[in-house]
Amino acid sequence: MKKIVMMVLVCGVVAWSCHGDSLQNFCKADLKGPDGPAGYHCVPAETVTDEDFKYSFNGKPGIEVLNNAVLFPASVMEAPMFNGRGISAGRVLLRRGGSLPVHSHGASEVLYVTQGEMNVTILATRRAYVNYLKVGDFLIIPKCLLHYLENVGRGEAVAFAAFSSANPRFRFQHLEMYANNVPSPTLSRVTFLDVDQIRRNKARFNGTG
């Protein structure tokens, strides 16, 4: 009987101590050091404070992006406790009539609408997947798939995002297409777009060629 109780206790303790995917329980990023595939080095654990586990979008100006959208990133760069966790967060605000242009990231996303109404479209070969989202709805956006957001409500629309990476690295299609030095005639041939349109877009997004 004593042995059984002991075993139950030991198993309980083993199950309780959550063996995760890393040796350390936490690793606040040392953002002054190099960033590698496994993330940043950790700052000394004894320097970590209560507030390091918390992050707030309040008071953050956000990053203005086209078209009438504001991004509030909460990646490892802004919230260093995400380092090595394989998750991060963010928030997006779409002003009235605004949209977030076609983009992708190397992380899957959960997009949870907290204000207003959005249509989110995921682009795939041969068809697009469109969803109308209102407050309380969320969408699963698989990593690397192109997608865009539109405010389809009457006021502002806001969504909270969770990503399956500490650093999701947004890739906006218009920047990758036009903010480069590929000659416009070449870009026209390989993208099937009119060369004048390409020149206008290159001028708009600071590309050359």
The footprint of ligand NAG (CB under 6 A) covers 119, 130, 132, 152
Q: Which is nearer to ligand NAG, 148 or 163 (CB)?
A: 148
Q: How far is the CB of 111 from ligand NAG (least distance, A)?
A: 15
Q: How far is the CB of 119 from ligand NAG (least distance, A)?
A: 4
Residue nearest to ligand NAG (CB): 119
Angle at Cα 158 formed by Cα 157 and Cα 161, nearest 5°?
A: 140
Q: How far is the CB of 130 from ligand NAG (least distance, A)?
A: 4
> What does the alpha-carbon distance between residue 104 and residue 102 come to, in Å, rounded to a whole number?
7
Q: Which is nearer to ligand NAG, 53 or 132 (CB)?
A: 132
Q: Which is nearer to ligand NAG, 78 or 137 (CB)?
A: 137
> What does the alpha-carbon distance between residue 198 and residue 209 come to, in Å, rounded to a whole number?
10
Q: How far is the CB of 90 from ligand NAG (least distance, A)?
A: 22
Q: Which is nearer to ligand NAG, 66 or 152 (CB)?
A: 152
Q: How far is the CB of 65 from ligand NAG (least distance, A)?
A: 20
Q: Which is nearer to ligand NAG, 73 or 150 (CB)?
A: 150
